[in-house]
Amino acid sequence: MTDDIDTLPSAPGAETTPRHLAPGEVGLVAPRDFIYSQPFSFRSGQSISGFQLRYETYGTLNATRDNAVLICHALSGDHHCAGWHTPADKKPGWWNNLIGPGKAVDTRRFFVVCANVLGGCQGSTGPSSSNPETGRPYGILFPFVTIGDMVRAQKLLLDHLGVIELHGVIGGSMGGMLALRFATDYPRFTRRVLGMATTGRESAQAIAFNEVGRQAIMQDPAWNRGDYTKDAGPRVGLAIARMMAHITYVSDASMDRKFGRRKKDTANSDAYTFDVQFEVEGYLRHQGQSFINRFDANSYLYITRALDQFDLAHVDGTLEQAFAAVEAETLIVGFTSDWLFPPEQNRQLTLALLRAGKRASYAELSTDLGHDSFLLESEELYGLVRGWIERDQPYVFDYAI
């Protein structure tokens, strides 16, 4: 996921109204921590004595405790998906365009929850957290984490918050994997699923890109088999991994439109140099450098491994079988220019749901922004989300096969 979502433009007269107080904004928000103090076993068989998830909520849980909408973030995202932490923040949460009073995910009606995944590095327990047995960061002693493990930890958070069923769960990319896993693992709890730019399993090419990123990290001498302190990790390897991954999140067309072959310094456009010459080079280096200041390299290894291992069909043989217990009404949205989890993979999910007799829809949006199109500011997308989230649902599933 890119981190270059622009700050909102100032509305006319905005001088007198701070952005975070503008109509339609959730305003100032604060993250909280859910502490789970019992042993937690991972699918790998490993376990930890407890964990913490950092999360945010917007809106209010209703009296019947069934208006919760869970937002699931992508590989490099976090719990801060809407609002501002301070009035001075340069940017709001990463999905602020989608979430707020009167927005597609309307916080006047829904209780929105978003948590940093287990294994992450933005406040949730992960490899950079302190290992209570050693007093030092877990490093690669942290258990291998799967998408299913992440989902199970978030279910414990939702239980803690008193949510008795999810009105809906929404996610793009890896977030879509979590959303689908909620539907298969907690079928009665999960009423609606919205997955965007996602897949039931990665192709060889996606695994290949992740593997190059992991190698860049693990072969950086500063990785030291995962044993490093916060300020001395494999920053070079992590930046390389991020630069490469970023290319896969956008598209040839969008990069060409944004940068083309423009040279960085027009006064010196014919300079022969290995320094930044084309604008796209400077942009990528910035992506790499800003990432290493906010992300932990070991978390990158763990989460990409979770992405590679995720295979819905593997659990039960076929996607149809994997979806057999699903009760959720599902909307899958694919984007024409997404070449990481291309439309075909999104369509396959929908077809498998339909073949399994489930209520499922597919929408394909024509964009040229690539995989990250799910972050798009698009009335068409907002309309889809609204239609999915607000439609009345039948009480009884009477369309079973």
Interface residues with a copy of itself (CB under 8 A) are 44, 46, 140, 144, 201-205, 207-209, 211-212, 214-216, 218-221, 236, 239-240, 243-244, 247, 251-252, 255-256, 258-261, 272-274, 277-278, 280-281, 284-285, 288, 301, 305, 308-309, 311, 339, 342
Q: Tell which residue, 274, 146, 139, has the closest CA to residue 201.
A: 146
Q: Which residues of 54-80 are buried (b: 16+ CB within 10 A; e: fewer)?
A: bbbbbbebeeeeebbbbbbbbbbbbbb
Residue 194 per-residue DSSP state: E
* Tokens encoding 278: 């084309």
Residue 334 half-sphere exposure, CB side, CA atoms within 13 Å?
A: 21
Which is closer to a copy of itself, CB of 236 or CB of 354? 236
Q: How far is the CB of 284 from a copy of itself (least distance, A)?
A: 6
Q: How far is the CB of 201 from a copy of itself (least distance, A)?
A: 6
CB of 281 to a copy of itself, least distance (A): 4
Which candidate, 177, 129, 191, 141, places its Cα nearest to that of 306? 177
Which residue among the candidates 20, 80, 167, 371 is catalytic per the annotation?
A: 371
Instruction: Specify the DSSP class assigned to residue 267.
Output: G
338 catalytic residue (yes or no):
yes
Q: Which is nearer to a copy of itself, 60 or 219 (CB)?
A: 219
- Smallest gap from residue 229 Cβ to a copy of itself (A): 19
Alpha carbons 197 and 199: distance in angstroms, whole number: 7
| Active-site choice (78, 106, 220, 338) | 338
49 part of the active site: no
CB nearer a copy of itself, residue 133 or residue 211: 211
CA distances to 67, 162, 164 from 61, in Å: 6, 8, 10
Catalytic residue among 173, 251, 299, 337: 173
Minimum Å gap between C-beta 255 and a copy of itself is: 4
Element (H, E) at 362: strand 360-365
Q: Beta partners for 361? A: 331
What long-range pairs does 377-386 form, CB within 8 A, spacing at least 24?
377/97, 381/104, 381/333, 382/98, 382/103, 382/104, 383/104, 384/331, 384/333, 385/98, 385/104, 385/105, 385/170, 385/194, 386/104
Rounded least distance, CB 301 to a copy of itself, Å: 6
173 is catalytic: yes
Angle between helices 235-249 and 279-292 (to 10 degrees): 120
Active-site residues, by number, are 173, 338, 371
